A and B are shown apart, each in its own frame.
Chain A
Amino acid sequence: MQLNPKKTKTYIKSALRDQHLKEAVDRATQSALKKRQDKVDLMPYWEDMRWQAHKAKAGVIDHLDRYLEEFEANCMANGTTVHWAVDGEEARKIIIDLIRKNNVKSIVKAKSLTTEEIYLNHFLVDQGLEVLETDLGEYIVQLLDQIPSHLTSPALHLTRKDVGKIFHEKLGVPYTEDPPELAQIARQKLREKFLAADMGISGVNFAIADSGSFCIVENEANAHLAVTMPRIHVAVMGIEKIVPTLPATAAFLKLQAISTTGQKQSSYVNFVGGPTRQKFGEGCEEVHLVLLDNGRSTILADPQLRETLFCFRCGACLNNCPIYQQVGGHAYGWVYMGPIGISLLPQYLGVDEGRYAPFTSSLCGACYEICPMRINIPHHLLKLRNRVVDSGYSMKVEKWAMWGFGFLASRPWLYRLLTWFPGKFQKLMPGNRAFPAPGYGKERALGRMDLKGFRKRFKEMS
């Protein structure tokens, strides 16, 4: 299923009509928020930690070129092969070349948004390869040919009853809605694939510059199997995933675990520091790392917006967003959804594709309030709205109206004249209400103009 961000308004409408979806998303986000809050309440130093992480990440992003070079050199010293990809196409080519060279037939995947970003699964399947997602949530959405609806819980839009039905229909197993039983079914199906796979593909959560290693965080141990059982491990990472040192990584891991699931620590944190089969007799023979730009380096150019690269995809901003809570992730029409998604979209895909994205927000700031990295998303959205408008992607009517507004608001006599007018005009309107606008009417009444206005009333009072 390929979604189109330009159709977000249509997706939103149909999501709002889907009561089942709304309940699933509401339940999942509220429970995630509560678990997170319970842990945060135990940490008096939580706020300090957020600001420190923000500062540490700013230091890296401001000198990303230097850190990337350091990271690459240390990776190579560890025996990891580093590939650079300017965009999705290059990244896919690097991977397919590796597959052909090594005569790979079967691939297992650990959950990775970056590979979703470059539509890797569809590409590989089209090349006649067998690609299997091994994270339970990813496995479920793969069975449905959907994209994840949440950054960290791909199948958040589905209830366990839905999953029971999907497994029954797609895998031919008896219906059950018991989560441990469902996990067991998936585990049995996946286990044989792990053993047969020639290549494991994963993402990267944090890339540690001074050690040339990287971590993959998970809760199901599937990623561990996916990156140690097959002969070859290919990891795909966005170039912004760098953290400076191992001790700094510990803080990021904590912020991420708490923000994502309300765990003190994720169940498994895999550190990959190069191939190990020769040295230790187990693990991979080859480790390849694909460093993906895909628009990220252009974001670096803007000193304000580069903050959007601090994101480590914990999904807390989605959970806390009153819009995401209503519509879920697919309504945004892209692999990155919610507040951080709409701030990345026009930057990654350009303002043409991303013309609606920064407007899909009431600017309430719940995202900034919860973001562990203190990314000021509402401010960035405002700047991106300006970028969309200045690139000519706004309605002509609105453009004229806003120009007129500026003209009006700079001339008090005209302002007075024209603020007198709507009150008169209102008398002609049904229900004696202010001028009509979409979204006001049956469900929500528009307010009424005051016939005198403050200025006159203030004078009368004094």
Chain B
Amino acid sequence: MKVSLFIPCLTELMFPESGLAMVKVLKHIGAEIDYVEDQTCCGQPAFNSGYRKEIIPVAERFIDLFKDKEIIVAPSGSCTAMVRVFYHELDLNPEKKEALQSLSQRLFEFTEFLVDQAKVNGLGGSFPHRVTYHESCHLSRELGVKEQPRKLIRGIKDIDFVEMEKPDTCCGFGGTFSYKFPDLSIAMVARKCRYIEESGAEYVIGADSSCLMNIQGYLEQHKMKAKTMHIAELLAASLKL
């Protein structure tokens, strides 16, 4: 099975570790890795800010790069949703639109791919720490991926997995929202971090680096105990990859 990597800009620029961890786990389950070096960003920051025309060339380029790939996997629910759900709302050239239809069926978020496609129920591994899971909005609500990451976490030996209060409440990031409405965004992440703190977790696990960056930023400044960790890094660490 050949898996092509879809590396979001945030993974490229700020959190390459989560991308590398994803590669390690994919290799561990026997996947052959393919990496398109010429990929850039999916265009979500502009799309979410109301700019649609501006990202049509970006979307069409993405489709061209990935249309012939067997399986495409991304370490982000948000970027996966951008392509799989929101690209369809763009005024694309009909030919690209058709390619997008089929591409969308071969594009998966990392945990969704592991559980639903590769039929991984748990990878074994060991991680003797208390963790909680933050449900990122696009992953859970646009893609409907709620149970898959939890299944993978529960599959780790000696992990102490606790649910925080309202794990599906937004962390308040929302891309450009976080600086267009900074006070509101901070109030939202403050609440999220309170729930994390109350769970007593040492690590808050998530499947989107954007939410984790936002949460980590608040945890750090407020000297809270928990640390953020991408689920790919958790799996790689538990397997000592």
Do A326 and B187 touch across chains, with their CB atoms under 8 A apart?
Answer: yes
> Given A389-B49, A412-B40, A439-B186, are A445 and B221 also a contact pair (CB < 8 Å)?
yes
Do B50 and A386 touch across chains, with their CB atoms under 8 A apart?
Answer: yes
Do A454 and B89 touch across chains, with their CB atoms under 8 A apart?
Answer: no
Q: Is B92 an interface residue (CB 8 A)?
A: no
Q: Which residues of B have CB within 8 Å of A379?
A: 89
- Which stretch from B94-102, B173-181, B200-208 is at the chain A interface? B173-181
Q: Which residues of B have CB within 8 Å of A366?
A: 137, 141, 168-170
Q: Mark A361-387, 1 if CB is under 8 A from B, else 0.
A: 111111011000000001100110111
Do B46 and A438 touch across chains, with their CB atoms under 8 A apart?
Answer: no
**Which of A358, A402, A406, A447 meets B213, CB within 8 Å?**
A447
**Which of A323, A419, A443 meets B12, CB within 8 Å?**
A419
Determine the distance from Cα of A339 to Cα of B13 in the docked complex, in whole angstroms. 33
**Which of B37, B58, B183 meets A455, CB within 8 Å?**
B37
Q: Is A408 an interface residue (CB 8 A)?
A: yes
Considering the complex, which residues of chain A in the window 335-373 have a beta carbon less than 8 Å from any beta carbon of chain B?
358-366, 368-369
Do A365 and B141 touch across chains, with their CB atoms under 8 A apart?
Answer: yes
Q: Which residues of B have CB within 8 Å of A447?
A: 14-15, 213, 216-217
Q: Is A434 an interface residue (CB 8 A)?
A: yes
Do A415 and B40 touch across chains, with their CB atoms under 8 A apart?
Answer: yes
Q: Is A398 an interface residue (CB 8 A)?
A: yes
Chain B contributes a number of interface residues (CB within 8 A of A) equal to 67
Q: Is B23 an interface residue (CB 8 A)?
A: yes
Q: Is B121 an interface residue (CB 8 A)?
A: no
Chain A contributes a number of interface residues (CB within 8 A of B) equal to 66
Q: Is A405 an interface residue (CB 8 A)?
A: yes
**Which of B41, B53, B190 meets A409, CB within 8 Å?**
B41
Determine the distance from Cα of A165 to Cα of B4 in the docked complex, in whole angstroms. 65
> Given A386-B51, A410-B61, A444-B214, are A438 and B20 also a contact pair (CB < 8 Å)?
no
Considering the complex, which residues of chain A in the window 421-447 have a beta carbon less than 8 Å from any beta carbon of chain B?
422-423, 434, 437-440, 442-447
Q: Is B111 an interface residue (CB 8 A)?
A: no
Q: How far is the CB of B27 from chain A (nearest CB, A)?
A: 10
Q: Is A449 an interface residue (CB 8 A)?
A: yes
> Given A440-B217, A443-B218, are A410 and B57 also a contact pair (CB < 8 Å)?
yes
Q: Is A16 an interface residue (CB 8 A)?
A: yes
Q: Is B142 an interface residue (CB 8 A)?
A: yes
Q: How far is the CB of B87 from chain A (nearest CB, A)?
A: 12
Q: How far is the CB of B185 from chain A (nearest CB, A)?
A: 6
Q: Is B198 an interface residue (CB 8 A)?
A: no
Determine the distance from Cα of A368 to Cα of B39 in the docked complex, in whole angstroms. 32
Q: Which residues of A have CB within 8 Å of B172?
A: 322, 362
Q: Which residues of A have CB within 8 Å of B54?
A: 402-403, 405-406
**Which of B16, B37, B185 meets A457, CB within 8 Å?**
B16
**Which of B46, B174, B214 meets A402, CB within 8 Å?**
B46
Q: Is B47 an interface residue (CB 8 A)?
A: yes
Do B58 and A16 touch across chains, with their CB atoms under 8 A apart?
Answer: no
Determine the distance from Cα of A458 to Cα of B20 in the docked complex, in whole angstroms. 7
> Given A362-B185, A382-B89, A405-B45, are A454 and B50 also a contact pair (CB < 8 Å)?
no
Do B20 and A362 touch across chains, with their CB atoms under 8 A apart?
Answer: no
Q: Is B11 an interface residue (CB 8 A)?
A: yes
Do B40 and A385 touch across chains, with their CB atoms under 8 A apart?
Answer: no
Determine the distance from Cα of A359 to Cα of B181 in the docked complex, in whole angstroms. 9
Do A438 and B182 touch across chains, with their CB atoms under 8 A apart?
Answer: yes
Q: Is A388 an interface residue (CB 8 A)?
A: yes
Q: Is A461 an interface residue (CB 8 A)?
A: yes
Do A450 and B58 touch across chains, with their CB atoms under 8 A apart?
Answer: no
Q: Mark B1-17, 1 if CB is under 8 A from A, else 0.
A: 00000010101111111
Do A444 and B46 touch across chains, with their CB atoms under 8 A apart?
Answer: no
Do A454 and B16 touch across chains, with their CB atoms under 8 A apart?
Answer: yes
Given contacts A386-B52, A423-B13, 5 further A-B contacts (CB under 8 A): A358-B50, A405-B41, A409-B55, A450-B14, A455-B37
Which residues of B come within 8 Å of A, CB atoms? Answer: 7, 9, 11-17, 19-20, 23, 35, 37-41, 43, 45-55, 57-58, 61, 86, 89, 137-138, 141-142, 168-170, 172-174, 177-191, 213-214, 216-218, 220-221
Which 10 residue pairs across A and B have the least CB separation, nearest first? A439-B182, A362-B174, A385-B50, A364-B170, A389-B50, A365-B141, A454-B16, A364-B137, A406-B54, A444-B217
Q: List 10 A-B contacts (CB under 8 A).
A: A12-B183, A366-B170, A369-B141, A419-B9, A440-B178, A443-B186, A443-B218, A446-B217, A447-B15, A450-B13
